Amino acid sequence: MKMPSLPLVAATGLLLVMQFSGSPVMPLLLCDPLYAQTPPASAADPAARAVITDQVNQPVQSQPAQPNQPQPTDWPQWRGPNRDGILKNTTAWPKTLSKNRLTETWRVGLGDSYSGPLVVGDRVFVTETVNKQEEHVRCLSRSSGQEIWKAGWRGSMRVPFFAASNGSWIRATPAYADGRVFVAGIRDVLVCLNAETGAELWRRDFPAELGSTAPQFGCVCSPLVDGQFVYMQAGGAMHKIESSTGKTIWQACRDGAGQNSSVFSSPAIETVAGVRQLIVQGRTELAGVDIDAGTKLWSTQVPAFRGMSILTPTVFKDQIFISNYQHPSMMLAVGQSGSSFSVSEKWKLKLRGYMTTPVVIDGHAYTFLQNQRFACVDLNTGQQKWVSRKFGKYASLVANGDQILALTSDGQLILFKTDTAKFDLVDQRAVGTNAWAHLAVSGEDVFVRNLDALIVLKWK
C-alpha cells in the first residue's frame, strides 16, 4: 500500500483432485463468485461445469485431509503463529544479513498481491491476481517452490483513480487451520479450500448476501481462526462462521452497506478486563465483542482520518494501543465493574502510526510510523523512547528474542535489536524491490513476498 486511502493489512474457489506421482499436475478451475453458496459441481457456469466434468469424478470432501500436522514454527496466518509477530522457542538469528549467512534458496514469479505467505509444514500458500481478472491461490513445495496445486476464481475490481498506484489486486493474508485454507478475495468473498487438494469446500459472497457494495479499496481483513470458527470483517459487518460448513453463527458491529463501510483492520482475540473477547476495529469504532453471543461488551469512538483505522488492535494488559492515520497514538484502558465495562484514555502520544501493527516486547511497542521511521514506545507510560532515521513507506515486523527483522516496502530487510535506549541497527540488506506483503519467518526460512514474486532465504 502506498497511499493513505489503502491499507495493507496490511488476510476462494475451485474443484480439483490431485494425483501424486512425482510432479503433481493440477487443473485450475475458475468459478464465478456469484455462485457463492453453490457447490462447484453444480455451478451454473457452463464452462466451469465442463472443466469439472473433464477433471473430476469425485465429490468435494467435507472433511479435508491435512497435508501435515502444523508445528509451532509454522506461519499459518496474519502476523504468525500467535497473530502478534513474535516467534517463540526459536534459535537466535545470526547478527548479520550477509549473503553467506542468509542465502536465497529459491524464488517463484507470481501475479501481483499484497497477501503475506502462509507456511505450514512442507507447504507454502500464496495468492495472486492474474490478468486483472482472476484471483489464484497457489500451494508450493517449501523445499523447491514447485507448484503442488493452483485454485482460482473470477474476482477483480478497480480501486479509485486517486489510489491507482496502490493497485487493484488481492490484499488480505489467508489463514490455515485444520487442513483448510481461508482466503479473502478483494471483492469481500471468503473462500475455504482443502489444503491438501485445493478443492473448494465452501464460499461466502458477502456483497451478494447482504446487499453491500464491493469495498472501495478492496477487502483487507485477514481471516482469524479460533477453534472451530473463523472470524471475518466483510460486507460492513463482523461475522462468526463455522469453519467446516461456512454457516454464519452471528453478525456483529454492522455499520452499513456502502463502500465506505468496509474496514481496513483485522480482528484479534484477547483477554481484556478478565474476559476473553473479540477485539474489532471498525473505521471509527473500537469494540469488544462477546465471542459466544456476538453482542458488544463495550465500544468507543476512535479518531481516524477518513476512517483509516488500519492497525490490528494491540492489547497490553487490560489496555489497547491504537495509532490511526493522521492522529496521535493512544492507549485505552478497559475496565469491568459487575456486568458493565468502561473505556478511558490512559495516555496520548504525538507519534502517528499508519499501517504497521507493532510487536510488543517487555512492555515496549516497536513500530513503524507514518513519517517512515521506526519507533519505540513505553506502553506503561506513553513515553517515546526513540525514533530512527527514515526508511521505506511501510514495514512489517517479526520479533525473535531481542532481535527484530523488518521488511520495508522498498524490499529492504532491516535487522535491529530490541534496545529501549536507541535504535540499534544490526544490519540491512536489499532483497526485493516492492514488498508490501507481511514478512513470514518459519524455522530457518525467511519468506519475502515481492509484488511479483516469492523469495525464500535460509539462515545458515
Give the residue-averaged pLDDT of 72-87: 95
Q: What percent of the chain has a predicted confidence (pLDDT) above 90?
A: 70
Per-residue pLDDT band at 66 (split at 50, 70, 90): low
Please report the pLDDT score of residue 258 as a whole number.
Answer: 56
Q: Is residue 449 part of a domain?
A: yes
Per-residue pLDDT band at 273 (split at 50, 70, 90): very high
Per-residue pLDDT band at 51 (split at 50, 70, 90): very low
Q: Is residue 134 part of a domain?
A: yes
- Choose the weakest-confidence range: 188-192, 261-265, 285-289: 261-265
Range of the domain at 193: 30-459
Rounded to two decimals, the pTM is: 0.86
Residue 44: CATH number of its domain: 2.130.10.10
Cell digits of residue 426: 544490526
pLDDT in tens, 197-253: 999 999 999 999 988 888 888 899 999 999 999 999 999 899 999 999 999 999 999
Q: Is residue 1 part of a domain?
A: no
Please report the pLDDT score of residue 457 as a whole number.
Answer: 98
Max mean pLDDT range (19-28, 35-44, 343-352): 343-352
Please report the pLDDT score of residue 12 as a whole number.
Answer: 34
Q: Is residue 211 part of a domain?
A: yes
- Choose the weakest-confidence range: 113-127, 131-145, 147-161, 320-334: 147-161
Place of cell 481471516: 223
Q: Is residue 110 part of a domain?
A: yes
Please report the pLDDT score of residue 339 as a whole number.
Answer: 87
Please report the pLDDT score of residue 306 as a whole number.
Answer: 82
Residues for the chain: how many in total? 460
CA 363 to chain centre: 24
Average pLDDT of the chain is 85
* pLDDT at residue 341 tops 50: yes
Shortest CA distance to 454 belongs to which of 18, 50, 75, 156? 75
- Choose the weakest-confidence range: 54-63, 110-119, 236-245, 283-292: 54-63
Q: Is residue 327 part of a domain?
A: yes
Give the residue-averaged pLDDT of 124-128: 98
Q: Is residue 378 part of a domain?
A: yes
Place of cell 476512535: 302
Please report the pLDDT score of residue 307 as a whole number.
Answer: 80
Give the residue-averaged pLDDT of 289-315: 93
Cα–Cα distance measured from residue 324 to residue 304, given in angstroms and rounded to the nearest whole number: 5
Instruction: Give residues with Cβ within 8 angstroms of 377, minimum separation 6.
Output: 329, 349, 351, 358, 364, 365, 367, 383, 384, 385
Query: Structurally, how many domains does the chain consist of?
Result: 1
pLDDT in tens, 146-162: 999 999 999 877 776 66
Q: Is residue 80 part of a domain?
A: yes
